[in-house]
Chain A
Amino acid sequence: MGRFTPGKKKGLPAISTASLPDIVFLLLIFFMVTTTIREATVNVRIAPPSASEAQKLEKKGMTSYIYIGPPINARLGTESRIQLNDRFATLGDIRDFVIAEREARDEVDRPFITTSLKVDKSTRMGIVTDVKQELRQIGAFKINYSSRREVKHTR
């Protein structure tokens, strides 16, 4: 039942999108606060074991990571392998890796570097023990067995 109005045509008023950036920025800030930047592309599959006594890893910058698990790419086999930074590595590479990690940090922070071992739960201990022996030799004594925090049961 339109009425014919001479002169100016009236359409629907445009929805104001002025608050849209605010909403998006809020989301952005939320994600920035709750997440951490991924430190490496993981080439090995890691399903961490769960442990009720696991403690939160403070001081992210003071942590270097060693990944051990079966490769994601099935063509590389099912045997667990070591990954340092973005590449597969062998036991012999750990020494250089730890030294590089030390060099990357301030002298005052060096004694506090923790090596986090992110190991798949199906991995056999042999390779983990070898890595630990290697870390002992270089003097990277502070280690952390990465594990998911499990809800405490009351027995």
Chain B
Amino acid sequence: MARKGRPIPEVNASSTADIAFLLLCFFLMASNMNTDSGIFRRLPPPMDPTQKPPEIKERNIFTILVNKNDRLLVEGREGDIGTLKDQAKEFLSNPSDDINLPEKRVEFISALGDYPISKGVISLKNDRGTSYEMYIKVQNELTKAINELRDELSRERFGIAFTNLNDTTYINAIQKAVPVSISEAEPENIGGKQ
């Protein structure tokens, strides 16, 4: 029942800016811009001391050793980070069914049918003195090898890159066909404590 003839006084809004600035300053202080990213891995469950580790044939293992000077020893020979990815890819895919490269186990996978899954395991062993940077580089190259193999399979079967797959059955099928078979050895102290 506002009386006519008297104008409603305008609400003073000049302090809204101050309040908003205050909030803005708070968020600027309390937040960080960079989003988190990283390489995902799944740790193996702890070893049972009473149980012997399963025997794996020599042809099925691809050993990578990293020493405390960040030098690589790949399959008994001095290796290079630049060629590691291709070596790992060749080992995991074994395209020509070489008898020195890993065996394959044919298994039925939905959406893919019978697919020969490689039995190959990459064994990564590092020294306590290895730098974290080198370790991540090696992990990155191995991840790249697996990602490229998955991508190739996905393109061959579904005609689309693995990262662009949306259907979970397809994704699971590819993940099963090309598993992340990286095993990390129990740590050893070769180069002395650092």
Contacts and interface: CB of A to CB of B under 8 A. Distances in A.
B43 A143 contact: yes
Interface string A130-155: 10110111011111111111000000
Contact of A35 (B21, B32, B136, B143): B32
Interface stretch (B87-95, B103-111, B121-129): B121-129
A52 B144 contact: yes
Contact of A55 (B23, B39, B46, B194): B39
A49 B42 contact: no
B181 to A, nearest CB: 16
A54 B39 contact: yes
Contact of B194 (A126, A130, A136, A139): A126
Given A116-B36, A117-B38, 18 more contacts: A21-B17, A36-B31, A36-B35, A38-B31, A49-B136, A51-B38, A51-B137, A51-B140, A53-B147, A56-B36, A56-B37, A63-B36, A121-B136, A124-B131, A126-B187, A135-B43, A145-B38, A145-B139
A75 B140 CA distance: 34
A56 B85 CA distance: 22
A144 B30 contact: no
Interface in B25-69: 27-28, 30-33, 35-46, 68
Interface secondary structure of A, over-half rule: mixed
Interface of A: 17-18, 20-21, 24-25, 27-28, 31-32, 34-38, 49, 51-57, 60, 63, 114, 116-117, 119-126, 128-130, 132-133, 135-137, 139-149
B1 interface: no
A124 B194 contact: yes
A124 B132 contact: yes
B45 A133 contact: no
Contact of B137 (A20, A49, A128): A49
Contact of B128 (A34, A49, A124): A124
Contacts of B135: 125, 128
Interface secondary structure of B, over-half rule: mixed
A147 B39 contact: yes
Interface residues of B, number: 47
B24 A31 contact: yes
Contacts of B32: 35-36, 38
Nearest to A123: B132
A79 to B, nearest CB: 9
A121 B131 contact: yes
B14 interface: yes
Given A53-B39, A146-B36, A136 B46 contact: yes
B133 interface: yes
Contacts of B137: 49, 51
A42 to B, nearest CB: 10
The 10 closest A-B pairs by CB, nearest first: A126-B128, A35-B31, A121-B133, A21-B16, A24-B20, A57-B36, A51-B140, A53-B143, A146-B38, A54-B37
